[in-house]
Structure 1
Amino acid sequence: MKEGPDIALLGSLIGDPARANILTALMSGKALTASELASEAGVTVQTASSHLKKLQDAHLLRQRKQGRHRYFTLADDEVGSVLEAMMGLAAGRGLVRTRTGPKDEALRRARVCYNHLAGDLGVAIYDGMISRGYLAETDGDVDLTGVGKEFAARFGVDLEVLSKSRRPMCRSCLDWSSRRTHLAGSLGTALLNRFYDLGWASRVDGSRVVKFSARGERLLLAEFGVSARTA
């Protein structure tokens, strides 16, 4: 018997259509109940509960109780990054289930990837932070530079709080739609929350789409050193 990580088991867990739909729904970053996930997966609540137990046992999901309800989320950033990368691989190989429509264009422009910004604008932000020296890439890792720390503080991000988190401050995440890098980690989450706080963007109800106002997008592109054409 072969030793090492069991990628066959991981593949079987993610590969089941109902479980894949559950995991995709949780890429929105929202905590959802078993009944909500059953609806997303197109199965009964009883069947969804069985799928959720398998995903929990594999530490792909976590659960929390609030009153009578149980809510489920992805276990962590790493699970979200793997799912985003798999979406990119599937899209790049033409393995798509439905033909794209108007909503897909909005998803490609800006969307939530678990808890940070993805899509064309997410990629543009990453590129802008690299070009301005706010981020540095070394041997596949990405780090916030001294200049980047000064910028983040000016922008209203509390780096002291982020530094106390168990999560890495910066992580690169492969964007499924552009197949280029956007920023994940606690800094990626903090920046997205800051965009919301500034009124630049808001979540579209029932969707992963992040909608930037015309003013918000203009200020975003100016602040992060990228042009509208680049984005």
Structure 2
Amino acid sequence: MCMSKEGKDFILDLNMYLIFSGKSEKEVKEFIEEAEQHLILGEKEGKSVKDIFGDSPEEYAKSVEKELSFDKKEILRMGFILILGLASWIFLSDLDYGVYKCSMLEAIGMPVTYIITIICLILFTKKFAFKDKKWKISIYIVMLLNLVALVAIGLIGKKLPQVEVFGEFTIRIIILLLLLACIIVSIKIRTTATIFPFIVNIPKVLYYLFNINISNLETPALIAGVILMFIALKLESRENLEEE
């Protein structure tokens, strides 16, 4: 017997809450497997999620959180992956088919904006893990504010004095190193998410690595990259559910 939709949603929300609480990935996986079995047996007897785990999913998650150990290595690993993805997005997005120039406002403002965005996403994901509607609204608001801030910084920054930071050869080396690191991480954690910055910025990657100029296709490439990103994430999510 498979779990009900309510059961699957509860397990996914619980897993997300515990992961974003910095708990040991191994312990979380073991606990989730036990919770799934407990849930399946309970639903066979006609019980609901509330009958099995209590009226408050948040309180249940908090009680489980206290029992699991905090994993510093997992936090550092997640931090490294986030920083790597963040660095790739910022660096590739700011390239303009030539030397890398930016103002002080852009150099400081954009990384800070991304860092604040990531912190907010983590906090809201944990806070509204069991409230899908509030979680979606909060994510949309955070992403909208992030977009507005980036556009404002970009528009203002372009009017300020620009400083040459990297030449084309240095940019090529940085792209190669970032791409290699993202591919290794992608294989290690079995996700394509880390290479999305390179997919949506493929015209720039081709220009700096192979001197192929298709800058006129940048917008179509961006749209196609975003579509591919959502398809890949959907497929990965489905595969994870099937494995569970």
Choose 1 or 2 for highest CA Rg. Answer: 2
Scaled to the shorter chain, the TM-score interval is: under 0.3
TM-score calculated relative to the size of structure 1:
0.28
TM-score calculated relative to the size of structure 2:
0.27
* Greater per-residue strand proportion: 1
* Greater per-residue helix proportion: 2
